[in-house]
Amino acid sequence: MSQTIECLREAITGEFNAATHYSKYAEIATAENFPNVAYLFRALAMAEGIHVKNHQQALGEKLQPPMKEIKSGNTRDNIQTGVDVELWEYTTMYPGLIKKVKKESETEMAKLALLSMEWAKNVENVHNGVLKQALQDIQSGKDANIAEIWVCKVCGNLEINQKPTGMCLVCKHDPMFFELVER
C-alpha cells in the first residue's frame, strides 16, 4: 500500500472523529447554556466533515473509519481540547502527513491528497484561533461572541460574524461557496 493511501486513511479517521467529538461537544454546550459555543461546535463538525469528504475524494473511496471513544468534559474543557487538537493537527499531524505524501507527488492521488491536506492544515489553524477566542470568552464568564458562522463548502474555512465578500483565504474559491451555518 502506498504512503499516500495510508496518510489519507489516517487523515480521514482523524477528521471523522473530530467531527463526531464536536457534535457531542455541541450537545454539552447546549445543556450548559452556551448556545453560541454550541453553534461554533456544530460549525466545526461541519467543517471537519468537509475535510473528510475532500480526503475521501483524493483516496477515491468512501472509507468508513473506526470510531474512537468520545471523551468529554464541561464546555470549557471541551473548548480547550479543541484548541489543543487543532494546534496539533496544524503543527504536527498534517505537516508529517504532507511530508510523506510529497515522496509520491508524481501520482494523481498524491497531488489531490496534498491539496486536500494543505487546505485542511491551514483551516485547522483558523479553527484553533476561533476556539482560543471562545475559550477567552468562557473564561471571562460569558458565552462566545458569535452571531453568524459561514463555512466554506470547499475547504471548511470559517468566517465569524461577517458574510464573506472576497475569495476564501484558504482555498481561494469565490465567496459564493460559503454557506451560513444554521442555528
Q: What are the φ and ψ backbone dihedral angles of 179, each rounded to 5 degrees?
A: -120, 135
The per-residue pLDDT for 1 is 58
Q: Is 152 helix (H, G, I), strand (E, B) or coil?
A: strand
Divide the 183 residues of the chain into consecutive groups of 10 and give the mean pLDDT of each group: 91 95 97 98 98 96 83 95 96 97 89 97 97 96 96 98 95 97 94
What contacts 33, CB < 8 A, 6 or more positions away? 143
The per-residue pLDDT for 7 is 96
- CATH fold, domain 3-143, is Ferritin (1.20.1260)
What does R_g of the chain's alpha carbons equal in angstroms? Answer: 16
What contacts 124, CB < 8 A, 6 or more positions away? 86, 89, 90, 94
The per-residue pLDDT for 68 is 81
The per-residue pLDDT for 135 is 97
Whether the Cβ atoms of residue 175 and residue 159 lie closer than 8 Å to each other: no
End-to-end Cα spacing for the chain: 42
Q: State how far the Cα of 115 lies from the Cα of 171, in Å rounded to an integer.
A: 9
Place of cell 471548511: 156
SS3 annotation, 76-95: HHHHHHHHHHHHHHHHHHHH
For the chain, the structural domain boundaries read 3-143
Nine cell digits for residue 29: 454546550
